[in-house]
Chain A
Amino acid sequence: MRFRYAMVCSSNQNRSMEAHNLLKRQGLDVASYGTGSHVKLPGPSLREPNVYDFGTPYKQMFDELRRKDPELYKRNGILQMLKRNLSVKLAPQRWQDNAGDGVFDVVMTFEEKVFDSVLEDLNNREQPLMKTALVMNLEVKDNHEEAAIGGRLALELCQEIEGNESWEDTIDDIVAGFEKQHRRKLVYSISFY
């Protein structure tokens, strides 16, 4: 338990929660966030998503969607996902609104936009602690299958970082090795707390 990890996606529902769940089960110190302005879940059609504020408990969403159209939301896996999520934590959290959660050593994002948002937010904060934070982006499509793969990869990556004495010295090699092994692009940046 040396490092603290944050998993960040857009809505703190699928990708970040999948990874959160996995890392948590492996005993890593992990939290998860979303950077969007709202939590959006698929609805009956593309134009009618279910929109919630961050902080709305997963349980509440679960109950609401199950009431609305249990068939639909079971079929598209939303209910299962919410059920998983409510076993992990209470409610989706917005990255930008939870600066008080303390210092993370490693922040994983799953989408370039999210990566940009996290970096921008970190850079806009006061940085009095002189503490480095590694921010990494792994592109993962926002569906259940890809999220499962992405979660596993994130776990693997975090375990690799955890295994290193100081990631600052080896991060270039870790990233290059990961890219080579999994044939996926990875980008990292460094920010400060």
Chain B
Amino acid sequence: MAAPVAAAATARTQALSLLAAANNHGDLAVKLSSLRQVKEILLSLDPSLSAEIFPYLVELHLSQEILVRKSLIEIIEDVGLRMLDQSYVLLTVLLVLSRDEDPIVAKKSISAGTTFFCRILEEMAMQFHHHGKVDRWFGELWTWMVKFKDDVFATAVEPGCVGVKLLALKFMETFILLFTPDGSDPEKFANEGSRQMFNVSWLAGSHPILNPATLMSEANRTFGILLDFIQSAGHFPGALTIAVVSCLAVVARKRPVHYNTVLSALLDFHPNLETVKGCHAASVQYSIRTALLGFLRCTFSPMIESRDKLLRAFRAMNAVDVADQVLRQVDKLVRINERAARESWSGKNNQANHQNSWDLSKKRIMPQGEDDTINGEVASKRLRYNTNIHLTPQVQTRDSAHGAIYTNGISSVNHPSDSELTPVEQMVSMIGALLAEGDRGAASLEILISKLHPDMLADIVITSMKHLPSSPPTLTSSLATPVDIVVSSSINSINSPTPPAQLPVDPILPAGSSFSDGPSLNSAIADPRRDPRRDPRRMDPRRLNSSTGPSLPVGEGKESVLLQMDISTLSSKPLSVPAVTAGAGGSIHPTTVEHSEKMVTGSSVIRINNHPDCRDDLLTVSKESLYPSKGESSLDVPLSPCRVDERIGETRFSGSETNFDLDMVSVPNFDQHSPPSSVPDFDRHLPSASTISAPEESYRELPSVPLYVELTTEQSITVRKLAIERILESNRHVYGFDYNKIRMALIARLIATIDAGNDVATILKEHISVDHREFKGHDLVLHVLYHLHSMAILDTDESSPYDTVYENFLIAVARLFLDALPASDKSFSRLFGEAPHLPDSAIKLLDELCSTHHDAIDSERVTQGLGAVWSLILVRPNERKACLAIALKCSVHSEEDIRAKAIRLVTNKLYHLPYISEHVEQFATDMLLTAVNSETNLSQTGPIAEGITEAKSQTTWRSDSLWSGTSDIHSQKDLQTSRDVSALSFSEAQRLISLFFALCKKKPSLLRLIFEVYGRAPKAVNQAFHRQIPMLIRELGSSYMELLQIISDPPKGSENLLTLVLQILTQELGPSTDLIATVKHLYETKLKDVSILIPLLPSLTKDEVLPIFPALLNLSPDKFQLALAHILQGSAHTGPALTPAEVLIAIHDIVPEKDGPPLKKITDACSACFEQRTVFTQQVLAKALGQMVDRTPLPLLFMRTVIQAIDAYPTLVDFVMEILSKLVSKQIWRLPKLWPGFLKCVSQTQPHSFPVLLELPMPQLENIMKKFPDLRPSLTAYANQPTIRASLPNSALSVLGLDNGQDSRSQMHPSDATSSIHGAALT
């Protein structure tokens, strides 16, 4: 004995010294290895001995070393899970470390904590399950776990390291999964060692520590937090948003109860992520896609039902292929499983009836043998098991409808006879559990209901309505709400021959005594003949109910206590007293009573009692005028739903109530399920035959009518307003917030009775506008509007007061939106789009919004208004005409900003609509013609205009029949001005024609009209045309087939426009061959004006340009300059049509008399060339002259050009001398038209021209000497130089008077000089 003790003591000492080392040693490696050894020791020791070391161990959490803290957590996890009962100390440290500043440590401890959390839950459930009790220490651990949970939840929402928050989110997901009942088989958890996660459905109602209802409601709240995350995703890093999406997706897939909510949240998720810095939008979007893809893979019924919706979403993401592929895979798996199921079914047909709840998520075929063991299980489990069955009255019908296989992505099988827990029934059971909670549960229940998808809620109601009693005995029963019906349904469906067994089975009652009844009950159910679901009468809920209803037990002792408490909490006597009486006397469960009120009123009776402060407020406001008695009870009277409704509808006390409640809840679905009760809520005004439960007996049992207070009209209005305020106020207290339908209905009715749109709108202002989207104010407004509208329709009077109320309310709300919300808000447009009817005043409001314009802020309003107009045109055929008129009116608005916006709308959106395009076109044409004809007398309108307008009256353009309805609105004034003011201003012209030009972009064939009217349009209009057309042509781009047609056959008078168009067409891009061909053809056939070819010149070849060159030259100087520029510019592909030298030559080639252009034009052209010194450079001139000099005959202007050249470029002199020399050799003196020029040139270029002069034959030289006597001295001096003189013939000398032979030596010099000159010229 001593040895182990001693060993333990040694181990302890060793561990402590190791811990000291871990704490104090300087080397990290030593610390860590010490810790590892400590762990070994702790694991080897007896738990109680280890626990003694724990306090020393946990001190390490103060260590500076991250790795030490991390190792500590590992040890805690390893050791703590081994000895849970001792782990209390460890958990406290874990809690501290989960807030560690180092993310690694924090993450590690959250993950370890989660493991503990699950493990502890599991152990507690197991222990209770096996031993019927739970150790006390679990309670302590659980307290710490709850703290841990709170801490982690806080981490998730507080700012901090994303990595840690991700884990916190994951923990939230785990939490939701743990505490949201799943449809799986509770038997599972009995199988020790299976890794099935704990689920709240394992818990029996009376667990000493764990309270399923509280936990479930907390899970729901957590789910709400995750949803909130998504809604405000714009503020978080992408990683966080992605994680939330994936967590929600997991929840939706594993707990179909939440599926619809998650789906709509994800589908509505369109945050403007681009603006958020540090958020990768594409990835966030992709995470949604991944989630939806995951849903597609699931085959739970709600997911299958939403396939269309999912596919639509995928279509929007351009991912239909992926979705289709997944669907094919899934369908294939389903088929395989079906086959397997059939095989298994045919073999085991006989035993199959025993089987009940399959585990939906387990994805495998459960062997039949397992089912037998189930039958031998403990009774308490059996109880739950049965409960499940009874809560699923319509399972079979669903099965047959859907082909019955529900898989979770891989495979699964469902037996045709298997009952299952559909989401609806899961919900029902959850609600049941919450009801059992009493007051605490009620709060959660409201949250739950508010979070519920309306469809789901409707399903719940419809499911449970099968069990409505055929004759509601009392007021209370007629107040029945979904939940109480659900409760009774669970009772009713157990159509067992042993009445005592019924009560205990009620799932919401923690009735421990009933466990023993389980087995017998089970056998009763297992017997197929007695199975209630096989009972043909089952299909008729009333019958079923009537057979079982009377046998329902009246409350046991425990329940009556509950009832008493209820009464005491209800201060509104008039209502609650009858309710209680009824409950006691009838067959309805007391719990029902309590709950039904909460459900029905939502905000009134119970609500008010829960919030005394709120009531006090009201009291102070209203008591003087309303309640002389100041009595508390009387205060509540007008606010209780019965009273309110009574006043409004003037119906009797109970019958209408039922009707009211049910239809409120079932509105979304009533056309599918169509029980008689779901007639729209205004059926109160119809013969009351359709109300489902207003049998005469109920009147007899009615309690005395509460005190009736006579109010004046004013008072009652005030009361109603107060009521509205109060209902709205009550919503503030509900977490997660959603106007539930009943509240909406109440408010709608109240507003209907108060004919004061503005006042009410003011009351609603805060609620509707400020939080319009989040708080679903929109739903409320629409609800009100529809209610008012239906009232108005039902009212047969000519002028129904409701019409006015409706109109006032609509306009008031609309103005409210405009005043309170930013222009970017869509609420306004949505309101008009979805309102049941738009009165004229609404259209007028819209018109004002669009066309009044004061400053920059208003400009956004205009956008908003036009946006609304557009959506109305799309969705409201009745208002289409009026809205279109607004849009069109704005499109010719004098404010350019408004006009531009409207034109964008009209052309880009409206013009595409087939039912509108004609009108738009007509209107635009009219406006254009108005502008064009503004100067001419209208009686002389052109043939086109007459054709279009069928001019009824010659003085007005509005005679157009198409527009007779709308023309009143589209501003007579505009037309008036355009008619009266004879000279249209430029801006006015712009105003009128802009729309037409914009339309041309969409429909180029309209262009022709522009060309047609161009000729006769006033100047201002033409200016406007010129301004507009470049943009238009550029927009049309390459698709100018229409344009080509026009070009090939331009209307008369449109030449200028045509040229402009051609210029634009060729400005940026080279013209197409089509265009060139068309224009050339035009030039050759119809239009002889060569100027239209100018824009095309760059693209023409030399051969094409040369023939037209004379014609070009004949144009006005500036046009020729332009043409010249085009020719020289050339296109990118071909280079210039002519080089500058070629141009010069071409000019010189023109013979004046033959081709037409007078000589003056040609000389001008030459001068024009010389002006462009950068283009016509020295080299260019030299080249051109060099080529021309060889021509025969020489061009007429040759000498002129030579002279100009030498003027422009004196350095050309040597080159010119060569030219002159050539001319001499060509006997220039024989060309009388050139000879003077030659002489002039020679004279101008002296002394350089002397050598050339001396080359001339003597007669010519002599001639020159006579003509230019002043040349002689210098020439003589030049020739007299010895070198030159020597080379000169005597005759020349004699002409110069040098023939006396003075110096024969000097004869050598001139030749030298000449040669040197020649040499210079050559270089």
B391 within 8 A of partner (CB): no
- Complex CA distance for A185 and B286, rounded to whole angstroms: 12
- Complex CA distance for A188 and B279, rounded to whole angstroms: 11
B195 within 8 A of partner (CB): yes
Given contacts A124-B410, A191-B246, contact A169 B280 (CB under 8 A): no
Q: Which residues of chain A have C-beta atoms less than 8 A from B280's C-beta?
A: 171-172, 175-176, 188
CB pair B242–A166 under 8 Å, yes or no, is: no
Given contacts A123-B249, A166-B162, A188-B280, contact A171 B110 (CB under 8 A): no
Residue of A nearest to B322 (CB): A116
Q: Which residues of chain A have C-beta atoms less than 8 A from B249's C-beta?
A: 123
CB pair A166–B246 under 8 Å, yes or no, is: no
- Complex CA distance for A124 and B26, rounded to whole angstroms: 46
CB pair A168–B239 under 8 Å, yes or no, is: yes
B227-244 CB contact bits vs A (8 Å, 1 = yes)?
000000000011100110
Q: Which residues of chain A have C-beta atoms less than 8 A from B287's C-beta?
A: 189-190
- Complex CA distance for A49 and B110, rounded to whole angstroms: 49
CB pair B163–A175 under 8 Å, yes or no, is: no
CB pair B278–A173 under 8 Å, yes or no, is: yes
Given contacts A166-B162, A189-B287, contact A126 B237 (CB under 8 A): no
A119 within 8 A of partner (CB): yes
List CB contacts (< 8 Å) of A146-193 with chain B: 165-169, 171-173, 175-176, 185-192
CB pair B297–A120 under 8 Å, yes or no, is: yes
Q: Nearest chain B CB to A150's CB is how many angstroms away?
A: 18
Residue of A nearest to B108 (CB): A130
A132 within 8 A of partner (CB): yes
Q: Nearest chain A CB to B292's CB is how many angstroms away?
A: 11
- Complex CA distance for A128 and B81, rounded to whole angstroms: 15
CB pair A130–B239 under 8 Å, yes or no, is: no
CB pair B162–A123 under 8 Å, yes or no, is: no
Given contacts A175-B283, A176-B280, contact A189 B410 (CB under 8 A): no
Given contacts A176-B280, A189-B246, contact A131 B239 (CB under 8 A): no
B259 within 8 A of partner (CB): no
Residue of A nearest to B243 (CB): A190
Q: Which residues of chain A have C-beta atoms less than 8 A from B111's C-beta?
A: 129-131
- Complex CA distance for A125 and B191, rounded to whole angstroms: 21
Given contacts A130-B171, A188-B283, contact A168 B278 (CB under 8 A): no
B336 within 8 A of partner (CB): no
B809-849 CB contact bits vs A (8 Å, 1 = yes)?
00000000000000000000000000000000000000000
Contact for B237 among A113, A132, A169, A189, CB less than 8 A: A169
Q: Nearest chain B CB to A175's CB is how many angstroms away?
A: 5
Q: Which residues of chain A have C-beta atoms less than 8 A from B322's C-beta?
A: 112-113, 116
CB pair A168–B283 under 8 Å, yes or no, is: no
CB pair A119–B290 under 8 Å, yes or no, is: yes
Contact for A171 among B104, B114, B238, B409, CB less than 8 A: B238
B1051 within 8 A of partner (CB): no
- Complex CA distance for A176 and B284, rounded to whole angstroms: 13
B525 within 8 A of partner (CB): no
Given contacts A129-B111, A169-B161, contact A189 B283 (CB under 8 A): yes
A127 within 8 A of partner (CB): yes
- Complex CA distance for A120 and B163, rounded to whole angstroms: 22
CB pair A172–B237 under 8 Å, yes or no, is: yes
CB pair B246–A172 under 8 Å, yes or no, is: no
CB pair A187–B163 under 8 Å, yes or no, is: no
Q: Which residues of chain A have C-beta atoms less than 8 A from B114's C-beta?
A: 130
Q: Nearest chain B CB to A171's CB is how many angstroms away?
A: 5
Q: Which residues of chain A have C-beta atoms less than 8 A from B297's C-beta?
A: 120
Contact for B170 among A120, A176, A185, A192, CB less than 8 A: A192
- Complex CA distance for A123 and B103, rounded to whole angstroms: 24
List CB contacts (< 8 Å) of A110-143 with chain B: 112-113, 116, 119-120, 123-124, 126-132
Q: Which residues of chain B have C-beta atoms less than 8 A from A128's C-beta?
A: 115, 118, 195
CB pair A120–B294 under 8 Å, yes or no, is: yes
Q: Nearest chain B CB to A7's CB is how many angstroms away?
A: 19
Q: Nearest chain B CB to A157's CB is how many angstroms away?
A: 13
- Complex CA distance for A99 and B440, rounded to whole angstroms: 44
CB pair A168–B162 under 8 Å, yes or no, is: yes
Contact for A187 among B110, B279, B282, B410, CB less than 8 A: B282
- Complex CA distance for A132 and B294, rounded to whole angstroms: 19
Residue of A nearest to B290 (CB): A119
B866 within 8 A of partner (CB): no
CB pair B195–A126 under 8 Å, yes or no, is: yes
Given contacts A129-B111, A130-B171, A189-B283, contact A168 B163 (CB under 8 A): yes
B167 within 8 A of partner (CB): yes
B166 within 8 A of partner (CB): yes
Q: Nearest chain A CB to B57's CB is how many angstroms away?
A: 23
Residue of B nearest to A175 (CB): B280
Residue of B nearest to A120 (CB): B294
Residue of B nearest to A165 (CB): B103
B141 within 8 A of partner (CB): no
Q: Which residues of chain B have C-beta atoms less than 8 A from A124's C-beta?
A: 409-410
- Complex CA distance for A166 and B283, rounded to whole angstroms: 18
Q: Which residues of chain A have C-beta atoms less than 8 A from B110's C-beta?
A: 130
Q: Which residues of chain B have C-beta atoms less than 8 A from A127's C-beta?
A: 170
- Complex CA distance for A128 and B238, rounded to whole angstroms: 24
B293 within 8 A of partner (CB): yes
- Complex CA distance for A166 and B163, rounded to whole angstroms: 7
List CB contacts (< 8 Å) of B668-706 with chain A: none
List CB contacts (< 8 Å) of B236-281 with chain A: 237-239, 242-243, 246, 249-250, 253, 278-280
A86-123 CB contact bits vs B (8 Å, 1 = yes)?
00000000000000000000000000110010011001
CB pair B246–A187 under 8 Å, yes or no, is: no
Residue of B nearest to A167 (CB): B163
List CB contacts (< 8 Å) of B199-242 with chain A: 237-239, 242
CB pair A132–B283 under 8 Å, yes or no, is: no
CB pair B279–A116 under 8 Å, yes or no, is: no
- Complex CA distance for A187 and B409, rounded to whole angstroms: 24
Q: Nearest chain A CB to B103's CB is how many angstroms away?
A: 5
Contact for B279 among A120, A165, A169, A172, CB less than 8 A: A172
Q: Nearest chain B CB to A115's CB is how many angstroms away?
A: 8
Contact for A172 among B171, B238, B293, CB less than 8 A: B238
Given contacts A116-B322, A130-B111, A130-B170, contact A168 B161 (CB under 8 A): yes
CB pair A190–B293 under 8 Å, yes or no, is: no
- Complex CA distance for A119 and B242, rounded to whole angstroms: 12
Contact for B242 among A113, A185, A190, CB less than 8 A: A190
- Complex CA distance for A187 and B111, rounded to whole angstroms: 27
- Complex CA distance for A166 and B162, rounded to whole angstroms: 9
Q: Which residues of chain B have C-beta atoms less than 8 A from A187's C-beta?
A: 282-283, 286
CB pair A189–B290 under 8 Å, yes or no, is: yes
Q: Which residues of chain A have C-beta atoms less than 8 A from B243's C-beta?
A: 132, 190
CB pair A123–B294 under 8 Å, yes or no, is: yes
Contact for B167 among A126, A132, A189, CB less than 8 A: A132
List CB contacts (< 8 Å) of B280-307 with chain A: 280, 282-283, 286-287, 290, 293-294, 297
CB pair B278–A116 under 8 Å, yes or no, is: no
Q: Nearest chain B CB to A124's CB is how many angstroms away?
A: 6
- Complex CA distance for A175 and B284, rounded to whole angstroms: 12
Q: Nearest chain A CB to B1243's CB is how many angstroms away?
A: 72
CB pair A190–B294 under 8 Å, yes or no, is: no
Residue of B nearest to A169 (CB): B162
**Chain B residues at the A interface, C-beta cutoff of 8 Å:** 103-104, 107, 110-111, 114-115, 118, 161-163, 165-167, 170-171, 195, 237-239, 242-243, 246, 249-250, 253, 278-280, 282-283, 286-287, 290, 293-294, 297, 322, 409-410
Beyond the given pairs A128-B115, A175-B283, 16 more chain A to chain B contacts, judged by CB atoms under 8 angstroms and listed by A's residue number, are: A116-B322, A128-B118, A130-B114, A166-B103, A166-B163, A169-B162, A169-B163, A169-B239, A172-B278, A175-B280, A185-B282, A187-B283, A190-B239, A190-B243, A190-B246, A192-B170
A–B pairs, 9, beta carbons within 8 Å: A116-B322, A123-B249, A123-B253, A124-B410, A129-B111, A172-B283, A190-B166, A190-B242, A192-B170
Top 10 A-B residue pairs of the complex, sorted by shortest distance between their CB atoms: A130-B111, A168-B163, A168-B162, A172-B238, A166-B163, A172-B280, A169-B162, A172-B278, A175-B280, A187-B286
